[in-house]
Structure 1
Amino acid sequence: MQLPLNALRMFDAAARHLNLTRAAQELHVTQAAVSQHIRNLEERLGKPLFRRLPRGLALTDEGQALWPVVAQSFERIEQSLQQVAEPRPREILTVGVVGTFAIGWLIPRLGQFQQLHPYIDLRLLTHNNRVDLAGEGLDAAVRFGDGSWHGTHAHMLLRAPLSPMCAPALAQHLRQPADLAGQTLLRSYRRHEWDGWFAAAQLPAPLARGAMFDSSLTLAEAATQGAGVALLPARMFEHMLLQGRLVRPFIQEVNTGAYWLTHLKSRQPSAALTNFRQWLLAQLERDPADDGGHDAMDNPPGTIGQRRKTHEISQEY
């Protein structure tokens, strides 16, 4: 069945406003023209699309079923026309980003990237550090680790040492690192992180019995609610520290890896990916908070007491 485009446009406007006068004003035609087009459309369909009320219109069941399809169709046509009219084509860039980095660093800066590169259609897919570039159709992925992933180029973005973090009420009972032995130690799926931190603090590691999480975001949320002490990259949770939802009772850190931008060696980077990588690196070079993963202040946000010596160890996983 062929339906006149003008009649569908009149129907769409009338369905949005539920008023023939306002629909006519939007389309710069007379109310009689809108009414006639809708009447012709109803005759072609053999169904009423509106119920005429004393003060406006109401969609019939048939009208309610038709309107979303018509509205979406016009929206897609408008988007396609805008793309055709643009002086240069848009480039789609699909990037997988570990959730912690996405929320803790990338998303607050995305507006600037879009302003600089309006023709890049950036699509972000978050993950929990398990990602398959080829299988998921990703152009690149930001992940945490040692930079060694088979078949990929890896560009280091920033280090993110882990330090204990917990709710303020729990922190009141922690005077020295050894006090952690009596607390619930929340764990990630990466084994031995707590062992590494206690080794860096030159203390024997207690048996960790806390819950295990596959995401630092849920790990941090559990810590804010008093479920225990979590090992987290403070750089990615500065907003929680500044808000007072989390506290760093001790400054000791353990360096288990860094955030990397990775892409397949078998695939030539697109112009969009090159621009994204250059923007990321430029942002990090200008970021005063990035000094290789260590805080430059004597008392970083959320820390208690005076600064203590920071230890680092390396760990592969």
Structure 2
Amino acid sequence: MATWIRNIKSIQVFNAVSEIRNVTRAAQFLNTSQSSVSYHIKKLETDLGYSLFRRTKQGLELTQEGTVLAGHVEQGLSTIQTGLERVANQAGSVRVALLPMFSSRWLSSRLGRLMEEHPDIQLSIHNHNNSFAHMPNPASFADLGIQWGRGNWAAFEVQRLWPEDLAVVCSPEYLEKNPIREPADLRHCTLLHVDDRRMWQEWLSMNKVPAPVPQSQMMLEDRHFQLSSTINGLGVSLFASWLVREELESGVLVNPFGRNFGTSFAYHLILPKGNAASRPVRQFRDWMLQVRGDEEKPQSENS
């Protein structure tokens, strides 16, 4: 019998840090805290009696011992992952990387149809904060996933689900305190973001509004948090218009311009390149694209 590896979690953390070379980003990738990552690296170094990383101006670098260990760890975890995938594929399992708001507002109501058409498929849902396309080894996280962006991810097979339009939204109370009558008025508002500032940069540019520096802005963790923050009057948000249809109809959010705006951003179905898709993965992909074709696009406000 093989020797029991007591610190397998530390091994997994070490593997992530050795690939990313940054403790903070490794913690985000692992969906854990920075202190937890530091703890596991220190624990592994203490158990082995060697330093595995050195800090430089460019970031973390592997020591000689760390380089040796990284090679074996990568090979070992890859072998384990291959075994897990073979078992999962035999069982008809599909690992899907999903954005929580997309899941709750579009996919969940359609899963019954999937189960009727493919009763043998077993879905394994892995939530992410729009990070799937940027992971060092996305195939170890999921077989395919939903990603918001412009679709320019060279390491993936990419299918845009539908063209989007964006709604500028805020709470009625926020609008009362911060009148918005034309695009330039947003220069004096707090702009709420998720992921990065590209959506607002595109919107401001398309509407010929020079962004003031500095401008009050707030970066939020995910779309659900952004939605609740917008409803609670913290600022102005851009959303795919169909995502906030219910809030606009109920009046908890308002669209100060009364219309929507075009965008280069959209939801995409993406599959990591380099790995042959199993039959269940192909079935799920084809089902998603079929549903997309049947519906063309989610109904949106003012559509």
Q: Are the structure 2 counterparts of residues 168 and 108 from structure 1 closer, same or farther at C-alpha, using a change threshold of 3 Å?
A: farther
Q: Distance in 2 between matches of 1:235 and 1:168?
A: 19
1:181 alignment partner in structure 2: 187
Q: Distance in 2 between matches of 1:260 and 1:110?
A: 18
1:150 alignment partner in structure 2: 154
1:243 and 2:216 matched? no
Q: CA deviation at 1:143?
A: 0.7
Q: Distance in 2 between matches of 1:136 and 1:209?
A: 38
Q: Distance in 2 between matches of 1:138 and 1:187?
A: 26
1:125 alignment partner in structure 2: 126
Q: CA deviation at 1:170?
A: 2.5
Counterpart of 2:197 in 1: which secondary structure? coil
Which structure: greater helix fraction?
A: 2
Q: Are the structure 2 counterparts of residues 121 and 192 from structure 1 closer, same or farther at C-alpha, using a change threshold of 3 Å?
A: closer
Counterpart of 1:94 in 2: which secondary structure? strand
2:170 alignment partner in structure 1: 166
- Assess if the C-alpha contact under 8 Å between 1:157 and 1:258 holds in 2: yes
Counterpart of 1:204 in 2: which secondary structure? coil
- Superposition TM-score, scaled by structure 1 size: 0.59
Q: Counterpart of 1:281 in structure 2: which amino acid?
A: L
Aligned CA-pair RMSD: 2.4
Q: Distance in 2 between matches of 1:153 and 1:288?
A: 20
- Assess if the C-alpha contact under 8 Å between 1:104 and 1:235 holds in 2: no
Counterpart of 1:205 in 2: which secondary structure? coil
- Assess if the C-alpha contact under 8 Å between 1:194 and 1:205 holds in 2: no
Q: Which runs of 5 or more structure 1 residues have no equivalent in the other structure?
A: 1-88, 301-317
* 1:269-308 deviations in Å (ceiling 9; x for gaps): 11211111121112112225459xxx5x7x35xxxxxxxx
* 1:73-105 deviations in Å (ceiling 9; x for gaps): xxxxxxxxxxxxxxxx74111100122322232
Q: Are the structure 2 counterparts of residues 193 and 260 from structure 1 closer, same or farther at C-alpha, using a change threshold of 3 Å?
A: closer
Q: Counterpart of 1:121 in structure 2: which amino acid?
A: Q
Q: Are the structure 2 counterparts of residues 233 and 118 from structure 1 closer, same or farther at C-alpha, using a change threshold of 3 Å?
A: same
2:80 alignment partner in structure 1: none
1:195 alignment partner in structure 2: 201
Q: Are the structure 2 counterparts of residues 213 and 254 from structure 1 closer, same or farther at C-alpha, using a change threshold of 3 Å?
A: farther
2:294 alignment partner in structure 1: 286
1:234 alignment partner in structure 2: 241
Q: Which runs of 5 or more structure 2 residues have no equivalent in the other structure?
A: 1-89
2:103 alignment partner in structure 1: 102
Q: CA deviation at 1:139?
A: 1.1
Q: Distance in 1 between matches of 2:272 and 2:231?
A: 37
Query: What is the aligned length?
Result: 207
Q: Are the structure 2 counterparts of residues 262 and 165 from structure 1 closer, same or farther at C-alpha, using a change threshold of 3 Å?
A: same
Q: Are the structure 2 counterparts of residues 232 and 267 from structure 1 closer, same or farther at C-alpha, using a change threshold of 3 Å?
A: same
Counterpart of 1:158 in 2: which secondary structure? coil
- Assess if the C-alpha contact under 8 Å between 1:201 and 1:252 holds in 2: no
Q: Distance in 2 between matches of 1:221 and 1:252?
A: 21
